[in-house]
């Protein structure tokens, strides 16, 4: 047996607000491997997330194969669009959705982690953050601000998080982010600058692997995941059609599961992947390898997006 053992490791998964996405699956896989897991959640969604946890609504998803329950050491507020609180617009500071959350900037997160656990205290950083306010707009109809917002939150935030948290990470630590095939191929409907943001994320992964590797001894990789009907992805409005198309044309005829990504992330953060850095790993049932499709994307009756 060659187990993934993350005992004694502390992980931070940034971008968890429910139990339906890749962030939760990664947190679950890391906990199953023995890691102590903290999560960072977007302030407007954090209250509902905490209530669901308190009321036991997520207990079924928290249950691990050995019967134990996944526990979070800390849940931190994080809006990764802001490096420091002085960058936050007044209207957000005054919003009730952000009230009573304290310093929810990237620097605030770093300060809270250091206060809670000291330094160095972090071994794993997972970037599960993406947002494009104009994602439903074709690129030609995307505003400059919408484009910049997509790149800021979905790509630059990895740089900001690593710059702030790198000094808190132990040598040999691992950083993992989440990408998508739209970074290198046209996916009509995935607009608003999000395809550009994913391309930037993958490019930055290579550069950050060199810089963070030499500066702190860290590894940096990204996972290019296939389409999955998380709550966030479903909001885009065409995810079911894309999933049907993928499933009709992937070399492996199976549906992608969130834990496929979770298990890959656990591998990438473990000593088993010690020689892997600066890489984009595809977890999409092999769709990225296809140069031609075999089946047309015919919508199922009464299931048009």
User: Kindly report the CA angle at 147 between 142 and 150, in degrees rounded to 5?
Assistant: 125
Ramachandran sector of residue 39 (left: φ over 0; alpha: ψ -120 to 50; beta: rest)? beta
Tokens of 11: 């992980």
180 noted as active-site residue: yes
Q: Residue 284 and residue 257: Cα distance in Å, rounded?
A: 10
156 noted as active-site residue: no
Spot the catalytic one: 147, 156, 180, 246. Answer: 180
115 to 12, 57, 120: CA distances (angstroms):
15, 30, 11
SS3 for 45-76, per residue?
Answer: HHHHHHHHHHCCCCHHHHECCCCCECCEEEEE
Spot the catalytic one: 76, 98, 147, 190. Answer: 190
CB count in 10 Å sphere of residue 241:
18
Helix (H/G/I), strand (E/B), else coil: 171? strand
Q: Residue 154 and residue 193: Cα distance in Å, rounded?
A: 10
CB 188 within 8 A of CB 237: no
Q: Residue 298 and residue 202: Cα distance in Å, rounded?
A: 31
Q: Residue 21 and residue 180: Cα distance in Å, rounded?
A: 14
How many CA atoms are closer than 13 Å to the CA of 35, on its beta-carbon side? Answer: 30
Catalytically annotated residues: 180, 190
């Amino acid at each position: 047996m060659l187990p993934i053992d993350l005992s004694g490791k502390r992980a931070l998964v940034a971008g968890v607000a429910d139990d339906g996405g890749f962030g939760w699956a990664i947190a679950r896989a890391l906990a199953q491997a023995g890691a102590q897991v903290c999560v960072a959640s977007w302030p407007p969604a954090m209250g509902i997330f905490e209530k669901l946890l308190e009321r036991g609504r997520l207990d079924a998803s928290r249950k691990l194969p050995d019967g134990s329950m996944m526990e979070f050491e800390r849940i931190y507020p994080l809006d990764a669009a802001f490096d420091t609180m002085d960058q936050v617009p007044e209207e957000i500071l005054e919003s009730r959705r952000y009230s009573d959350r304290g310093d929810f900037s990237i620097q605030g997160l770093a300060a809270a982690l250091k206060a809670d656990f000291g330094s160095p205290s972090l071994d794993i950083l997972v970037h599960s953050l993406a947002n494009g306010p104009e994602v439903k707009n074709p690129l030609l109809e995307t505003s400059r601000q919408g484009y910049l917002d997509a790149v800021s939150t979905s790509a630059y935030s990895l740089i900001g998080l690593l710059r702030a948290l790198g000094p808190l990470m132990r040598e040999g630590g691992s950083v993992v982010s989440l990408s998508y095939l739209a970074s290198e191929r046209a996916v009509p409907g995935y607009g608003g600058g999000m395809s550009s943001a994913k391309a930037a994320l993958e490019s930055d992964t290579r550069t950050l692997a060199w810089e963070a590797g030499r500066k702190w001894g860290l590894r940096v990789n990204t996972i290019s995941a296939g389409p999955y009907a998380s709550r966030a992805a479903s909001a885009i409005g065409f995810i079911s059609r894309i999933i049907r198309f993928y499933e009709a044309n992937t070399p492996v005829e199976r549906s992608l599961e969130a834990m496929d990504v979770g298990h890959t992330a656990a591998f990438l953060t473990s000593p088993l992947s010690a020689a892997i850095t600066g890489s984009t790993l595809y977890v999409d049932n092999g769709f990225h390898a296809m140069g031609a499709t075999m089946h047309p994307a015919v919508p199922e009756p009464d299931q048009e997006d």
